Amino acid sequence: MLIRDEDPADVPAISDVVEHAFGQPSEARLVERLRADGDAAISLVAVVDGAVAGHVLLSPMSAPFRALGLAPVSVSPAYQRTGIGRALIDAAIDRARVEEWDAIFVLGDPAYYGRFGFRADLATGFASPYAGPYLMVLPLAAALPVAEGVIDYAPAFSAMEQDGH
């Protein structure tokens, strides 16, 4: 398996992987919209036997410090539960550290994302339409620059909700 930056030639395969991973086209449209809006800050693919088998996207967030939102993470159904998702998330976190982002937020399963160091307790001070037990944050340095404030995902996420997804 090779993890590398998304290439323009990967776009159709990424759309296919995302749609099949989620069983619907909504998340694939989200990825397309984030890319079109210039909000695909980190977009990585996992390649197995020359084909895109997984994808992860991080987009800039509105926050009181340099923060990214992790979503979506997609692995082709044929490759799920093989470690590709974990490898993609690890690579995305490493890239965000190299690029000197302060934190990554995610909305997801605390048991799964907790393995990567995401913590719901550190996100409780942040006002967000997604606030609650599934909103978590991973500080990329020793601590978050501030412990409270208002955060929001890139505009494409709100547009996705307005579209009914």
Query: Which domain covers residue 150, as residue numbers?
Result: 2-162
Number of domain units in the chain = 1
How would residue 161 be classed by pLDDT, with cut points 50, 70 and 90?
Answer: low
CATH of the domain at 111: 3.40.630.30
What is the percent of the chain where pLDDT is above 70?
Answer: 97
**Tens digits of per-residue pLDDT, 70-103?**
999 999 999 999 999 999 999 999 999 999 999 9
Q: What is the Cα–Cα distance from 131 to 116, expressed in whole angstroms?
A: 20
Q: Are strands 51-60 and 103-107 parallel, antiparallel or unpaired?
A: unpaired
Q: What is the Cα–Cα distance from 165 to 158, expressed in whole angstroms?
A: 10
- Contact criterion met (CB below 8 Å) for 135 and 69: no
Q: What is the Cα–Cα distance from 28 to 52, expressed in whole angstroms?
A: 14
The pTM for the full model equals 0.95
